[in-house]
Amino acid sequence: MKLKIRHLFLVGLFVPLLVLSCKTTGDTSAPPVDDSVPQDLSGPADEVSLEALAQARAKAEESRSWAEYAQGETYFPQEWGFAEDRYATARGRTDAPETKAEAYSRVAEWKGIGAAYDDIFNKSAEQFAGDQERILAEAREAAIKAGAEELVPDRLAQADEIAASARGKYEAGDLTGSVRDGKDAWDRYQILETIAMAHAKQEEADANDFFSRDPDNYMLAADAGNSAVEYYDAGDLGNARNSADEALARFNQVVRNGWVSMVEEKASVAKEWRDASLSAKADVAVRADYDAAEQVYRQAHVALRADEYTSAAELFEQSGQLFMAALDSALGKREVAEKAIREAEQKLEESEAKAQSAEAIIGGGE
């Protein structure tokens, strides 16, 4: 059974999620009213408050992604460090809030974190815009090297158009717009690279019939690959990236499991021939032949320990053939030796018979 990742058309633009900005500590004016927070915060956390928390976190995560792309850590390391500390603290809370008040307190926390990353992005965009073309060129080259130009050429061309838009906005002085388009193109290049890499691993699995060795992972990998391009079609680049990553990880696992299984089989066969050659005393009778096989056998184990499965499989197969040849040579020598012994014994018996006959004649003559 051979499944292929469908070459779906990738359309739609990635729309960044913006978060609300906070007032600075130096602003003494009354804070704006947040209509998303209910006036009554009594009672346990409910579906609405938990959903608000999930959305606030998702927006903060998106803002962090934008600030990271614009290399905010490089341009504003102190602000980035503060934001990262707050992010790590909030992310470290894995327990669900028990009350509405606690839930909306966390909502406010995530919105503040998102606003901090937004500020870093806005300040970094002006400095980063000039370096963006090089970064996009590197991302495009990686996608092409992975095979995206052959696998999804129209999708690559679409990403190229967005990258060209980013360059045009930079030349027109729209630095923030340039960086936003640039990140869109960069995300697309990276997803296309991952999809192409997953497809290459699928082809490796197909070429070696690894589906039969790990069908469950193969099916999950193919489903994730199909989902990746479908999400891409819908413009959902976040889920497209996640699905592409899953497809690549699972196809890698299929290939690894397949090679491990294949190598184990070849290693078992090689060991059987090795044991048989030792039983036939090939290490004594044809020592040079046995030593040559043993050297290849040891090289196979070295390759296996280094996870060089293709080499290990070839070396185990080669060593098995060499052990078999050594066994044949040893058995051949044994057969020659046994034949010589039989002939010698036969000659001895004939000599003894002649001697007895001679004695009988001599005895009779007397």
CB 11 within 8 A of CB 108: no
Domain boundary among 210, 228, 257: 257
> 297 — alpha (psi -120 to 50), left (phi > 0) or beta?
alpha
Residue of 61 and 262 predicted with greater confidence: 61
pLDDT digits (tens, 9 = 90+) for 263-310: 888 888 989 989 988 888 888 888 898 899 899 999 999 998 898 888
Same domain for 124 and 134, yes or no, is no
Domain boundary among 207, 237, 257: 257
Number of domains in the chain: 3
- Domain with 284, as residue range(s), is 264-355
Instruction: Report the chain's mean pLDDT, rounded to a whole number.
Output: 83
pLDDT digits (tens, 9 = 90+) for 310-333: 898 899 999 889 988 988 888 877
- Short-list 211, 246, 208, CA closest to 3: 211
Q: In the chain, which residue ranges form alpha helices assigned H by DSSP?
A: 47-69, 72-75, 77-91, 100-128, 132-146, 148-151, 153-171, 175-207, 215-233, 237-279, 282-285, 287-305, 309-365
What pLDDT score was predicted for residue 350?
Answer: 59
Domain boundary among 112, 128, 144: 128
Residue 127 CB contacts under 8 Å (≥ 6 apart), including other chains: 75
| Separation between Cα atoms, residue 243 and residue 253, nearest integer Å | 15
Residue of 188 and 9 predicted with greater confidence: 188
Q: What is the CA angle 262-265-269, rounded to 5?
A: 140
Structure tokens at 64: 């962090």
Domain-located, residue 212: yes
Same domain for 110 and 56, yes or no, is yes
Quick one: pLDDT band at residue 340, thresholds 50, 70, 90? low
Domain-located, residue 18: no
| 27, 123, 180 from 65: Cα distances, Å | 28, 15, 11
Same domain for 197 and 106, yes or no, is no
244-271 in b/e burial notation, b at 16+ Cβ within 10 A? Answer: bbbbbbbbbbbbbbbbbebbeebbebbe
Same domain for 121 and 156, yes or no, is no
What pLDDT score was predicted for residue 11?
Answer: 29
Domain-located, residue 1: no
pLDDT at 10 over 60: no
Same domain for 141 and 216, yes or no, is yes
| Separation between Cα atoms, residue 159 and residue 185, nearest integer Å | 5
pTM over 0.75: no
Residue of 363 and 177 predicted with greater confidence: 177
